[in-house]
Structure 1
């Protein structure tokens, strides 16, 4: 069975210019032509490149694939605004909008908040669904309203990087982005926890579509790919382990180093190439661990081999990463389309 592929576009650099915006629309059309299941972009103002505008540009170029924000969080985007964006993107794409909700990391810490609780996230998701279906919902003890002429279907995914979030995703999600890792024991455990959550809510165990978050870098030089991926691996190592290592399949030999890494993580260098977090993950001897746990780095041959290995352990839906300037992101997509995708289908 072919692997289903979705791609996260992260545009680095200053806010998009008009020409950049035109190229993002063209990028979405190219993603459509690749047959991708979904394309998305993250919700953070931390880097001053506003998210709703990027999602809208992607929606203007896409015709078939799902388009959405992933992830947003209950702190920085009010559920009324999330519902409005979903309805807008749904109309632009002819019914292919989605949103992914997680507890928040740099986007919430940078505005002085702590990651949202699971209870708050659940209330948020139910509020967004009720607004889209009925135009009225309860949130934080208040009535929230929006004008709606017709119900809008809401495909809501839950970003989950720990055991309790996986269970919650099984209870309330249409899909789940599993960020716990890609090793066989982690994959098996994560899927079991999602199924258990669905059963606890009285849902069929297969009612939640599982996708695996893969931190990835495609480059013709495999060593350069591994080097470039380190800042991204550092970020997911931090927020997947910030609640502790217990129950998260961390080998005993790495536990102390992981705990030190989480304690010393520098928000100001979040996903910054050449920053303190990249240096720290390398110095603590965690680079190989992070690559094996979450990574996909190499040339086209390495990508095909790794993706086939992942399929063998039950990973057949993947969220890949494509990070850089708009032109760099486009060039990587073209390489993926020409050199990797045909060999997976």
Structure 2
């Protein structure tokens, strides 16, 4: 099992560099940098990390097919890969409709096909050959990169909805499973990935599988549950009903959360139950967290990436230390 973490680079970039340097020293395998709303540009942050670290893998987790062109993404990730001596990874995922796409007036339709075509174009551009991809949404026709590229940079598709997960199975090297961290949730995700892989004649067992999940190690479970209600409200508010039905949440609870989500996360959070939180996050003492990670490992997950709860870089330094001290010895 590999371990990574994701952190929003909203403070001064040097603080984020220090956080990732600490993670490298603690033994983390991956640092994932999001390309979401209005914080620092992720490629600039990744470049800084490439020069400031030696071993830790640096992943774009994830870029958005609605706000980025795949040609520019290929150029960016190839540059980071060169600067990091081959440690770059690229994740693609559709999302942030409420916080980013709607305010900017951007279309948010056809997530699965757009993620699939995005990866196809990036892969063609990284191949070192002339790319000739003519898709419905993206194209790269008669284009060759002007720099030397590594064709085997791993490309991931992230999501929890059926069509995006199927797209991962069709074309990606890995799938990033967003928040589905129970046996029912992981089985649902793999079912969708297998559908896509079957269409393309691929073996899904050869794919990397990242569980992208908020984890909170604590002895005060009740306080942690209260703090995680907004996090889970955001997940449920944006998740397709098919996913929420598959993980077994009561329909009445889901409908209350989705209805309140229109008014905002604080309103939706009031309806988030303990069952909801345990469905989409991992919270408890070190023994409970390790037990649930073992369950993910048995289900075929190859990496657990810890999403940091809202907080400062200093708080996140404490969080990654706590996780490393409590969990790594059980898996290494």
Matched residue, 2:279: 293
Q: How does 1:92-131 map to 2 (within 5 A)?
A: 92-105=83-96, 106-117=99-110, 118-131=112-125
The secondary structure found in structure 1 opposite 2:17 is helix
The secondary structure found in structure 2 opposite 1:214 is strand
Q: Is the 8 A contact 2:233 2:265 kept in 1?
A: yes
* Structure 2 residue 307 is the aligned partner of structure 1 residue 321: yes
Distance 1:298 1:246, change over 3 A: closer
- In structure 2, how many angstroms separate the alpha carbons of the residues matched to 1:23 and 1:142? 37
Q: Deviations over 1:122-174 (max 9, x none)?
A: 22211112222236454646748464232323311001212222221111110
- In structure 2, how many angstroms separate the alpha carbons of the residues matched to 1:150 and 1:83? 12
Q: TM-score with structure 1 length normalisation?
A: 0.82
Matched residue, 1:171: 170
Q: Is the 8 A contact 1:163 1:248 kept in 2?
A: no
Q: Is the 8 A contact 2:71 2:125 kept in 1?
A: yes
* Structure 2 residue 258 is the aligned partner of structure 1 residue 277: no
* Structure 2 residue 262 is the aligned partner of structure 1 residue 262: no
Distance 1:246 1:157, change over 3 A: closer
* Structure 2 residue 14 is the aligned partner of structure 1 residue 30: no
Q: Is the 8 A contact 1:72 1:104 kept in 2?
A: no
Q: Deviations over 1:87-118 (max 9, x none)?
A: 12101221111111112223323322242412
Matched residue, 2:6: 8
Q: Is the 8 A contact 1:43 1:107 kept in 2?
A: no
Distance 1:233 1:83, change over 3 A: same
Distance 1:131 1:313, change over 3 A: closer
- In structure 2, how many angstroms separate the alpha carbons of the residues matched to 1:42 and 1:144? 30
Distance 1:135 1:222, change over 3 A: farther
Distance 1:50 1:150, change over 3 A: closer
Matched residue, 2:235: 236
- In structure 2, how many angstroms separate the alpha carbons of the residues matched to 1:230 and 1:146? 47
- The aligned length equals 323
- In structure 1, how many angstroms separate the alpha carbons of the residues matched to 2:50 and 2:233? 30
Q: Is the 8 A contact 1:187 1:313 kept in 2?
A: yes
Matched residue, 1:271: none
Q: Deviations over 1:281-321 (max 9, x none)?
A: 33x3x322322211112343442343234445554531211
Distance apart, 1:218 and its partner CA = 3.6
- In structure 1, how many angstroms separate the alpha carbons of the residues matched to 2:15 and 2:219? 24
Distance apart, 1:43 and its partner CA = 0.7
Matched residue, 2:209: 210
Distance apart, 1:64 and its partner CA = 2.0
Q: How does 1:173-212 map to 2 (within 5 A)?
A: 173-179=172-178, 181-212=180-211
Distance 1:196 1:301, change over 3 A: same
- In structure 2, how many angstroms separate the alpha carbons of the residues matched to 1:310 and 1:132? 32
Between 319-328 and 295-304, the greater mean CA deviation after superposition: 295-304
- In structure 2, how many angstroms separate the alpha carbons of the residues matched to 1:31 and 1:137? 40
Distance 1:77 1:48, change over 3 A: same
- In structure 1, how many angstroms separate the alpha carbons of the residues matched to 2:142 and 2:109? 20
Matched residue, 1:273: none
Q: TM-score with structure 2 length normalisation?
A: 0.85
Matched residue, 2:149: 151
Distance 1:305 1:128, change over 3 A: same
CA RMSD in angstroms, aligned pairs only: 2.7
Unmatched tracts of structure 2, length 5 or more: none
Q: Is the 8 A contact 2:160 2:189 kept in 1?
A: no
Distance 1:246 1:62, change over 3 A: closer
